[in-house]
Chain A
Amino acid sequence: MADQIDHLIEDAPILRLDAVHTDIRQYHILNGVDLVVPRGQVTMLLGRNGVGKTTTLRSIMGHWRIHRGSITFNGADISTQPTADIARAGIGYVPEDMGIFSDLTVEENMQLAAFSGPMSATRLGWIFATFPPLKTLWHTEAGHLSGGQKQMLSVARAMIEERELYIIDEPTKGLAPAIVATMVRALQDLKDQGASILMVEQNFAVAAALGDTAHVMVDGAVKWSGPMRALAEDLDLQRSLMGFSLQTAARDQSATKSS
């Protein structure tokens, strides 16, 4: 019996959104979002600008309060819980604006994120190996870091302690290609460790490389859900859902480079 229950828990999604509606002031942004994040997988949340991806993540974290629907994390409804309790329930969140504390040093930023106790040396070693600049800038005020370094710190802060779910909002936004590669390696590492990740990503190539499952949002609701590979291979589907295809995106990129 106990084995059966364990099996059921293991199979149950780590996060589930059912018909979530969110208003921001007078604007109705989320219009019934249904989303399932399976355990131990990377789930991509895709869509054009302004369809409500970031609002979905912020609604999960309790920054915007939903007014209808439910958000279930590990089987418990978290939609009315304070943000701090949602985070302490086991969610590491990397916001779109990085949200680093620029008056504090890199070390202090990391210490704050490790709220369970002192930082683990093993985990810190892994972070330093993944993001070497953080080691050299350990005692520097985070406000003095470059954009890429700030993004590294933002992701590292979520990774300093093992979390049951990582919610990452556009980790490669505005980064130089070399740093995008570092970021992808870091996220791949996290994925290989069996972490559950929900990620918003505008760089489709990165999404295709990392994602297991994809949800595409259109006008405040999830319009298409399925394996990431199926979306990556279907150019017409990409075009109809997101207004571009991976092929044309790659062509545009090479055209920009050659010009």
Chain B
Amino acid sequence: MIQKILSYDTPRSIALSMLLLCIFAGLALAPFLFPGVRTVDTAARICIFIVLVASYDLLLGYGGIVSFAHTMFFGVGAYSVALTSLHLGRGFDALILGAAIGAVLATCLAAAIGLFSLRVRAIFFAMITLAVASALAVLVSQFSDLTGGEDGLTFKLPRELGPAFKFGQTLFDGTVFGVKLNGKLLTYYLVFGTSLVLFLITLRLVNAPFGRVLQAIRENEFRAEAIGYRVVHYKIAATCLSAAIASCAGALYAIWLRYVGPSTTLSLELMIDILLILVIGGMGTIYGAVIGATLFLLTENYLQAAMGRLTSGIGDIPVVSALLSPDRWLLWMGILFIVSVYCFPKGIVGHFRKDP
């Protein structure tokens, strides 16, 4: 059964399976295991980034297609949900319609970029995606009447997803293991459940014959063409599918934050984070997205605090306490990532995974 759910593509390593199981359990029970606004927020972001990075892995790790427009598709999904919620009112229909419009728009945009530029050499395609993504980011900040410009848009979710909505009052007295049963909890599980489904869909896609053809194209384009596969068609299909999934992740991000803005969904920094997460986790594995996103977001959110505790613990040692000062957290994060890429050139999953 589990094999079938995972499309017969298991982690193929006991250590990796245990790690993935821990992450799954941690995310599934996050509101109960780590109650707190910040921890649950980190868990939700991890869920969304897993989907976003997995969809990028479909493109880069499996298809060998380098694109810098992935955040653009993420942003399209996020803005669609925000705009439909703002204009159609706070309802589930607006959310579903927004996510659907976002996915369709992202697919069309990906198909247009693909049709015009996937025939050229990889480096030109990468440059074109970068140009289009930058252009869209500028457009979003310029059309402030529609998009809220640099300030972004804040919108309201359906009442059932708000903190004021309480449920289970009669059955559980409103709390389970000390956690309040409210709309925020429901929103977390909406994000978690949808992310899980989207992740499994991505896993299914790469393990279907489609994924095999993509891998073949990545390795030897002419050979794939010479055994009868239209390379450009497959590349466009991969770009579209990956864009649609990224757009759904964007929709989830907007729902979770109840806000969209250029810096949270369209920035180049976000694109670099996606690349970094994929490289650390392991390209062409899909599971790399899970490990990479968890590690990256935990480090990003807790390294500074951990360093603060460490410096207060060791006291005032010259040089050492200056180096470990919480203000230097970005330096240590950089060093950690360099070490991880050096120690695991094929990514963490690629390092631990055994050949089939």
Do A and B associate with each other?
Answer: yes
Determine, out of B4-12, B134-142, B214-222, the stretch whose residues face the partner at the interface: B214-222
Q: A139-B356, A141-B355, A144-B355 are in contact. Are A108 and B212 (CB under 8 A)?
A: yes
Query: A245 at the A/B interface (Cβ < 8 Å)?
Result: no
With A104-B216, A139-B356 in contact, do A63 and B227 touch (Cβ < 8 Å)? no
0/1 interface trace, chain B 219-237, chain A, CB 8 Å (1 if under): 1101111111111000000
* Contact status of A112 and B213, CB under 8 A, knowing A84-B231, A102-B219, A141-B355: yes
Q: When chains A and B are docked, how far (Å) is the Cα of A87 from the Cα of B225? A: 8
Which residues of the partner chain A approach B227 to less than 8 Å between Cβ atoms? 87, 93, 112-113, 115, 157
Interface size on B, residues (CB 8 A): 21
| Contact A87/B226 with A103-B215, A104-B216, A112-B212 known, Cβ cut-off 8 Å | yes
Residues of A within 8 A of B229 (CB): 84, 112, 115
Contact A141 B225, beta carbon cutoff 8 Å: no
**B347 → A minimal CB distance (Å):** 14
Is A88 interfacial (CB 8 A cutoff)?
A: yes
Give the interface centre of B216, B228, B230, B356 by most chain A CB atoms within 10 Å: B228
B233's nearest neighbour on chain A, judged by CB, is: A84
Q: Is B318 an interface residue (CB 8 A)?
A: no
Complex contacts, A88 vs chain B, CB 8 Å: 228
Query: Is A111 among interface residues, defined by CB-CB distance under 8 A?
Result: yes
Interfacial chain B residues near A113, Cβ < 8 Å? 227
B209 at the interface (CB under 8 A from A): yes
Give residues 193-221 of B contacting A (CB, 8 Å): 209, 212-213, 215-216, 218-220
Interface centre among B225, B230, B231, B284 (most CB of A within 10 A): B225
Contacts of B222 in A (CB 8 A): 63, 83, 95, 99
Given contacts A99-B220, A105-B356, A141-B356, contact A111 B212 (CB under 8 A): yes
Q: B residues within 8 A CB of A115?
A: 227-229
A218 to B312, CA, bound (A): 81
How many A residues are at the interface, by size bracket? 20 to 34
Please indicate which of the listed interface residues A85, A93, A101, A102 has the most CB atoms of chain B within 10 Å of its own CB.
A101
Nearest residue, chain A, Cβ from B209: A111
Which A residues lie within 8 Å of B231 (CB)? Answer: 84
Bound state CA distance, A111 and B228, in angstroms?
12
A105-154 residues with Cβ-Cβ distance < 8 A to B are 105, 108, 111-113, 115, 139-141, 144
* Complex Cα spacing A102 to B230, Å: 20
> Are B230 and A82 in touch, CB under 8 angstroms?
yes
Complex alpha-carbon distance, A83 and B215, angstroms: 18
What distance in Å separates the Cβ of A160 from its nearest Cβ neighbour in chain B? Answer: 10
Which residues of chain A are within 8 angstroms of B224 by Cβ–Cβ distance?
A: 101, 112
Q: Is A61 an interface residue (CB 8 A)?
A: yes
Q: Given that A83-B226, A140-B355 are contacting pairs, would A101 and B209 also be in contact in the complex, using a CB cutoff of 8 Å?
A: no
Min Cβ gap A56→B in Å is: 15
Inter-subunit contact A95/B223 (CB<8 Å): yes
User: What are 20 sample pairs from A and B whose C-beta atoms fall under 8 A apart?
Assistant: A61-B226, A83-B222, A84-B226, A84-B228, A93-B227, A95-B222, A99-B220, A101-B220, A101-B224, A103-B218, A104-B219, A105-B356, A111-B212, A112-B227, A115-B227, A115-B228, A115-B229, A141-B355, A144-B355, A157-B227
- Listed from nearest, the 8 A-B pairs whose CB atoms lie closest are A99-B223, A87-B228, A83-B225, A84-B230, A88-B228, A101-B216, A115-B228, A101-B219
